[in-house]
Amino acid sequence: MGNKREMQNKKDQQLESFRVEDEGKKLTTNQGLKVSEDEFSLKAGERGPTLMEDFHFREKMTHFDHERIPERIVHARGFAAHGEFQVYDSMKEFTKAKFLQDPSVKTPVFVRFSTVAGSKGSAETVRDARGFATKFYTEEGNYDLVGNNIPVFFIQDAIKFPDLVHALKPEPHNEIPQAQSAHDTFWDFIANNQESAHMVMWAMSDRSIPRSFRMMEGFGVHTFRFANEEGKAHFVKFHWKPVLGIHSLVWDEAQKIAGKDPDFHRRDLWESIENGDYPEYELGVQLISEEDEFNFDFDVLDPTKIWPEEEVPVKIIGKMTLNRNVDNVFAETEQVAFHPGHVVPGIDFTNDPLLQGRLFSYTDTQLIRLGGPNFHELPINRPVCPFHNNQRDGYGRQTINKGQVSYHKNSLAANTPQPASEEEGGYAHYQEKVEGRKVRKRSESFKDHFSQAKLFWNSMSEVEKNHIIEAFSFELGKVQSKSVQQQVVEMFAHVTSDLAKPVAEAIGANLPQSKGSSVKKSSPALSQENTIKKPDTRKVGVIIDNGFNGDEVKQVLKELQSKGIQAEFISDKLGIKKCAGGSEIEIDHTFLTGESVLFDALYVVGGKEVDPSFKDDAVYFIKEAYAHFKPIGATHVGIKWLEEQEIVEKEGVVTGADMNIFSQNLTGAVMEHRHWNR
């Protein structure tokens, strides 16, 4: 298979043979036997016992009894989509990975987003890190980039991962709380494992409550290696940069969405793809030559550290577009098996001790979740290139191997399949010189836990800093142990007293004495205030009633839609609302089924005559959207309602009689996402 051949349809064609359309077909057993009755089990008489010989009943019930597989211990709550990736320019200088060579090649991908802590049925807008896992179906085999939306992690060594997850999960004595870190065991772990300081700063920031999967970054977290054809290696970190920028919810909004629509993030992803608003992410890499490994004030292998973008720029190398929803969530999203050890020639590992542990853990996990060693044969996990080896049998085997030979070396099959040389595309590990005593220790260079936590704090805007303080205050306010509360306050006093003191005051802890880290530098790339701001795919709720000015509304909606902004209509009842001139609009949501938290902005129109209950509901929407710093536009009676609430002439609040100017100003306000200054 040449590397110039487009591959984006290859995976689709492979999956097509596994897809079944049942509509218009006759009911059969799993063996293909047509079934004449599916309402009643086989009995000894109409009122008699069911007979063991009822094979159809046994098959149907047995399959139902085994429909659920064990959910993932972490990242159980996930949603996914198909897409494609194209590199912009050849990366031959740095890596021999073929899918990063030819800009004309489209590599099929499958991406799964997830929360970390919650169970499969938990809400999606909780405060949590998000998984961002990408499977590239390349011509050299599957490559899995298994990361998060936060570039660092809580721990430095994988041996501590079970401890972290046990502490984060619901407490075992009462199985409370679900999908939350605001409890004693989690914060007790944090206070006693202070390598987590940097990750906790990210987790308490707006990054942990993203507006959507489409508006969050992704990171490989670990340091990997690129190696080119000449064997020259570079350390590399991977970044996914969303084309729409990085945007978040506010905490009160996130909590309300969890109640109103626990599927908020997956619904957003599904609807965006169905509407043709395909999510896009640019792939970036940070590169450090091996000779520069020790030229920084952090250890490049430490998974609790970032490489500041101002020191190590991110080189944008390609774009991923998600353009097709799954056909079946279980068969694809739930059965997909990611593994950081699924690599291709040109991508290799480093001695990051967290990464090294993951290389064992992921295979071990799939064996129990997916019932044995043949999970790679499930349609969603199959590579697009052929695979040949001497592995045989096991649960769920689909391959029917021909011939008598299943071992290496052999003469009966001319010693096939046989290893490929590196020149033939065979994978060869980077030949790193390794020597030392067998020890259970950690490098001294891993022991600075607070400098980058302070770097993160320094990089935040005042609004973002306030959100972090509020997040700590909420989380620790839920902790019952006064000792744990005090320990956490003392721990983050080593980062900055500007954080620790207001948190201590909020939870009634003793004020800490430490003044914090002396680090002065910042990284502007870490602040969401500096992100891309686009109006595309923003959702505006239009509050409307009978007697509205149809021409004006049409003019405003035309301007909004020209900028990619979507409008949905809200009123007291579903059905049709008529404008003063007789034209009609169909209502999408009532005040009961829609909430201001489900929209990015409001456009308040009202109508000619509205009853008091309509006005009360509309004003509730307005006040809540205003409290969440969202853009609000109003015309006619809508302006009157804003005036009564004293929220006219405020930042992000748009009114006016000239619809051209009004439309442009509202579009600009929506593009800003939030209006913090008011």
358 marked as binding residue: yes
Strands 347-348 and 539-544: unpaired
| 362 assigned binding-site residue | yes
| CA 26 to each of CA 19, 20, 33, 281: distance values in angstroms, whole numbers, following the listed order | 17, 13, 10, 44
Identify the CA nearest to 656 among candidates 573, 556, 567, 578: 556
Sequence letter at residue 119: S
Enumerate the β-bridge partners of residue 568.
Answer: 541
Q: Is 75 a catalytic residue?
A: yes
Binding site annotation covers 369? yes
Cβ partners under 8 Å of residue 219, min gap 6: 132, 147, 148, 149, 150, 151, 237, 238, 239, 240
Given a contact cutoff of 8 angstroms between Cβ atoms, the answer to whether 573 and 635 are in contact is: no
Report strand pairing: 653-655 vs 632-634. parallel
Q: How far apart are CA 245 and CA 150, in angstroms?
A: 15
From 56, 75, 239, 494, active-site residue? 75
Burial class for 414, CB neighbours closer than 10 Å (0-12, 13-18, 19+): exposed
CB 131 within 8 A of CB 172: no
Residues 152 and 199: beta-carbon distance below 8 Å: yes
| Neighbour count for residue 251 (Cβ, 10 Å) | 18
β-strand partners of 252 = none
R_g over Cα of the chain: 28
415 is catalytic: no
Amino acid symbol at 590:
T
331: helix, strand or coil: helix
Q: End-to-end distance of the chain based on CA atoms, in angstroms? A: 59
Q: What would the DSSP string read from start to end of 629-678?
A: T--EEE-THHHHHHHHTT-SSSTTEEE-S-HHHHHHHHHHHHHT---TT-
Measure the CA–CA gap between 211 and 516, rounded to whole angstroms.
Answer: 32
Beta-sheet strand order (sheet of 601-606)? 589-590, 566-571, 539-544, 601-606, 632-634, 653-655
Per annotation, catalytic residue among 56, 82, 142, 148: 148
Which tokens belong to 588? 């999408």
Ligand-binding site membership of 440 (annotated): no
Give me the sign of the Cα torsion angle 471, 477, 480, 484.
positive
Interatomic CA distance for residues 156 and 162, integer angstroms: 13
d(CA 225, CA 168): 31
Written as one string, the DSSP assignment of 273-305 is HHTT---EEEEEEEEEEGGGTTSSSS-TT-TT-
Asked if residue 620 belongs to a known ligand binding site, the reply is no
Please give the Cα distance from 96 to 347 (Å, whole number): 8
Annotated binding site: 72, 112, 161, 358, 362, 369
Q: What amino acid positions are annotated as catalytic residues? A: 75, 148
Annotated binding site for heme: 72, 112, 161, 358, 362, 369
